Structure 1
Amino acid sequence: MADLLLRDIDPDELRAGIVADVLAALRPVLVESSEPRLVGGDRMAELAGVSRPTIDRAVRDKLIPSVLIGRRRLFDPQRVIDSLSSAGESRA
């Protein structure tokens, strides 16, 4: 039965349909991965849904990891989220 269905489909059309579906599925992943690996304090605050002073306090209190490159303090969003999650679990 499946053989019957494939005979009625043009191979180029099938290939184009598969490519379109794969690209549609990958598009959100590609957009997500275009975020820089390290972000500044303002962007980190935006991603975390908190104010910039809250981020600055968390750095001062050593609650979240950051790196200092020159005069810029940068954050790896995934590491910050992981550290906040583990801090929340240890308080529970």
Structure 2
Amino acid sequence: MADLLIRDTNRDELIRDTAEAVAKLLRSENASEAMPMLVDGDEMARLAGISRPTIDRAVRSGLIPSIMVGRARRFRPAAVITALESASRE
């Protein structure tokens, strides 16, 4: 493997700057994953790999959680998938 020569750069500064850049990227990725994403019924059905009527039946029966935003029903995919997994274990 060839050596990389970087001139006029302090090794410790390069390591520190690289570590800070990596930490910043990781923080931004973790923050975007932590944000609750809401999707509509069609998208929830697509994500779960089931039909829209199945989603609607699961909501009516209380099997999966949903929230109302005005008159529109929305879903948090992680919560729905967790509920479906729990129901399949029973």
Both structures adopt the same fold (TM-score exceeding 0.5): yes
- 2-structure distance, mates of 1:46, 1:26: 29
Q: Distance in 1 between matches of 2:15 and 2:69?
A: 50
Aligned-partner residue type, residue 66 of structure 2:
S
Counterpart of 2:59 in structure 1 is 59
Under a length normalisation based on structure 2, what TM-score does the superposition of the two structures give? 0.66
Percent of residue pairs identical: 44
User: What are the within-5 Å matches in structure 2 for residues 15-34 of structure 1?
Assistant: 15-26=16-27, 28-33=29-34
Aligned counterparts of 1:20 and 1:84: Cα–Cα separation in 2 = 38
- One-letter amino acid of the counterpart of residue 51, structure 1: S
Q: What code does the residue aligned with 1:80 have?
A: V
User: What TM-score comes out, normalization by structure 1 length?
Assistant: 0.65
User: Which structure shows the bigger proportion of residues in helix conformation?
Assistant: 1
SS at match of 2:73: strand
Unaligned runs of 5+ in 2: 1-9
Seen in structure 2, the aligned counterparts of structure 1 residues 49 and 23 have a Cα distance that, compared at 3 Å, is farther
What's the CA shift for 1:30? Answer: 4.2
What are the superposed Cα offsets for residues 1-51 of structure 1, whole Å, 9 maximum, x if unpaired? xxxxxxxx6221111221233345456434434562x32112212221222
Q: Does 1:40 align with 2:23?
A: no
CA gap of 1:70–1:26, structure 2 versus 1, over 3 A, is closer
RMSD (Å), alpha carbons: 2.4
- Once residues 77 and 33 of structure 1 are traced to their aligned partners in structure 2, the CA distance between those partners, rounded to angstroms, is 12
Where does residue 87 of structure 2 map in the other structure? Answer: 87
What is the match of residue 69 of structure 2? Answer: 69
Unaligned runs of 5+ in 1: 1-8
